[in-house]
Chains A and B, each alone.
Chain A
Amino acid sequence: MAVKLESRVAELVEPFAGRPSELIQALHRVQEELGYIPEEAQRTVAAALRVPLSQVHGVVTFYHFFRTEPVGRHIIRLCLGTACYVRGAARVLQALREELGVDLGGTSADGLFTLEGVRCLGACGLAPVMMVDGEVYGRLTPRRAREILSRYRDE
């Protein structure tokens, strides 16, 4: 498994080999393919691009975009901005927490959902709002949020 991952990552970053300035591009490529950047992949990238491990670690931890943990098949982005908060986002969050058994940033045990809190999806008129992958759901209630989850589960 580990060997397979290493060769796969090595293949992905091959076009950037020996080019330290392409670090972010290479990391993007790895995350696009694997969904996250595990430690072994960071090592492979460092070796291929000839960048110190500490620098790869620095970039991966600096940008919120990069993940070092696997994500679920669907990403839930629940808005916790002011308007949504006032309209009850906290109760929706509580329902999602209970339903998924994870806190913000966590991935459910079945690997289906990753729960994230975001600030404003630009749909305050529909508050409280959440996105599941590319789909926006507005006027949420704890009950509606649970229903939406079960729809994705049944897929």
Chain B
Amino acid sequence: MITLTIDGQRVEAEEGQTILEAAKAAGIRIPTLCHLEGLSPRGSCRLCLVEVKNWNGKLVPACATPAQDGMEVVASSERLRNLRRMILELLFAERNHICAICPSNGHCELQDLACELGMDVVHFPYRFPGLKVDASHQRFVYDPNRCVLCGRCVRACSEVEGAMTLGFSGRGVYTLVEADLGGPWGASETCTGCGKCVQACPTGALVERGKATAEQEKRPQLVAEVTERRPRVQD
């Protein structure tokens, strides 16, 4: 066992646990977006940034940084709140996140984070890309305009389903999630149609075809359940 402090609170953690896992066990909330229990950590969204006091106040992603003995972690401060809010604003500005017309309105992790972090305005001009929606799949729809590129779908596809159908293409703000060599998803030779990508998606980028907004609620915890990290809960 190792001992660290998070926001002044003494926290015990197992060797190899991340700061996020240690915080969760101690009931301390750290916002996350690209992280999903059951998938490998990616540390790409930067929303779980925490400050390590005795590392000169260095900012590290809690989801991908191992907890270490004697570490003094700050998980909530004015500086972190401002940083996380700005990161969220940048995510909103990059694509077309317009809640009122989104099938995930009301059960979207991005929207929940905006509420939690008090993001009431986006200070950056929206880029309004006109990205092509892929509705070629029999059961699912991918709308890149609502994608935050967290890669949860890509990891669910490769790490849990093992199909490796979905991957990133392009780079920077032009990055897309695409199937196989980039043709229509519906024509994919490798997609098993399992739907884990849709369940893992935190926003309205991946949705089930023919379902109304109220029925689009997702079960991202399914990934942890099928990887047997968490017992299945009957609902």
Chain A residues within 8 Å of chain B by Cβ, number: 12
Instruction: Verify if A134 is at the interface (C-beta below 8 Å from B).
Output: no
Q: List chain B residues, Cβ under 8 A from A122.
A: none
Complex alpha-carbon distance, A130 and B61, angstroms: 45
Given known pairs A52-B158, A52-B190, A53-B190, the reply for A39 and B167 (CB within 8 Å) is no
What is the predominant secondary structure among interface residues of chain B facing chain A?
A: loop
Contact B182 A61 (CB under 8 A): yes
Q: List chain B residues, Cβ under 8 A from A61.
A: 169-171, 182
**Which positions 58-85 of chain A face chain B at CB distance < 8 Å?**
58, 61-62
Contact B181 A43 (CB under 8 A): yes
Closest Cβ–Cβ distance, residue B184 to chain A (whole Å): 13
Instruction: Verify if B180 is at the interface (C-beta below 8 Å from A).
Output: yes
Q: List chain A residues, Cβ under 8 A from B208.
A: none
Report the nearest A residue to B190, measured CB to CB: A53
Complex alpha-carbon distance, A56 and B190, angstroms: 14
Contact A39 B190 (CB under 8 A): no
Contact A52 B181 (CB under 8 A): no
Given known pairs A42-B181, A52-B164, A52-B190, the reply for A58 and B169 (CB within 8 Å) is yes
Instruction: Verify if B168 is at the interface (C-beta below 8 Å from A).
Output: yes
Q: Which residues of B pack against A, CB within 8 Å?
A: 158, 164-171, 178-182, 189-190
A-B contact pairs, 15 of them (CB 8 A): A43-B181, A52-B164, A53-B190, A54-B164, A54-B165, A54-B178, A54-B181, A54-B190, A55-B164, A55-B167, A57-B182, A61-B171, A62-B168, A62-B170, A62-B171
Instruction: Identify the 4 closest CB pairs spanning chains A and B, nearest first.
Output: A54-B167, A52-B164, A53-B180, A61-B169
